[in-house]
C-alpha cells in the first residue's frame, strides 16, 4: 500500500499547488494571460480527478469495496473538524518537541525540525 500512499501524497501536493495558483490567478484576473493559466489549472484538476477515480476503481476491484463505503468515509472525515462543508480540514496539532502548532499535513516541525507524523495526507 505504500505505492498508493505515495500517489496520494503526490496528488495532495498537486492539489495544494493548483489551489494556490488558482487563488493567485483569481486575485489578478484582469492581468494579461490569466485566462490561459486558468485553463491550464482546470486541465490539471481534470487530470487529478481522473487519477482519483482510477485509484478508487482499482481499490474497489482489488478489495471488493462499494461506493457507499467511500461516501460514508468521506462524510465521516468531513465532520472531523466539526463542520460539514465538503472539505477535509484537520486542526493543527502541537509539535511534540517545541509545542508550536503544526499544520496537519506537515511531517516535520518548521521551527525546530522535529519529525512529526502527519495527521492528514491530503491538503
Q: Which residues bind Zn ion (CB under 5 A)?
A: 95, 97-98, 109, 111-112, 114
Q: How far is the CB of 102 from Zn ion (least distance, A)?
A: 7
Cβ proximity to Zn ion: between 56 and 111 the closer is 111
Report H helices in 28-110. 34-63, 67-78
Between residues 71 and 98, which has the closer beta carbon with respect to Zn ion?
A: 98
Q: Please state the closest distance from residue 106 (CB atom) to Zn ion, in A.
A: 10
- Shortest reach from residue 115's CB to Zn ion, in Å: 10
Cell numbers of 121, please?
495526507
The residue (of 102 and 122) whose beta carbon lies closer to Zn ion is 102
Rounded to a whole number of angstroms, the minimum distance from the CB of residue 13 to Zn ion is: 22
108 forms bridges with which residues in the sheet? 115
31, 38 contact by CB (below 8 A): no
- Closest to Zn ion by CB, 24 vs 112, is 112
Task: Identify whether the C-beta of residue 82 lies closer than 8 Å to the C-beta of residue 71.
Answer: no
Q: What's the burial of 105, exposed, middle or buried (CB within 10 Å: 0-12/13-18/19+)?
A: middle
Amino acid at each position: 500500500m505504500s505505492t498508493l500512499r505515495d500517489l496520494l501524497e503526490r496528488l495532495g501536493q498537486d492539489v495544494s499547488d493548483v489551489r494556490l495558483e488558482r487563488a493567485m490567478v483569481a486575485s489578478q484576473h484582469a492581468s494579461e494571460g490569466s485566462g490561459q493559466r486558468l485553463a491550464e489549472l482546470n486541465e490539471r484538476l481534470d487530470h487529478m480527478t481522473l487519477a482519483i477515480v482510477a485509484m478508487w476503481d482499482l481499490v474497489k476491484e482489488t478489495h471488493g469495496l462499494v461506493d457507499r463505503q467511500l461516501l460514508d468515509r468521506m462524510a465521516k472525515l468531513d465532520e472531523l473538524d466539526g463542520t460539514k462543508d465538503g472539505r477535509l480540514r484537520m486542526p493543527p496539532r502541537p509539535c511534540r518537541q517545541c509545542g508550536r502548532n503544526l499544520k496537519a499535513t506537515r511531517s516535520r516541525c518548521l521551527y525546530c525540525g522535529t519529525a512529526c507524523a502527519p495527521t492528514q495526507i491530503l491538503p
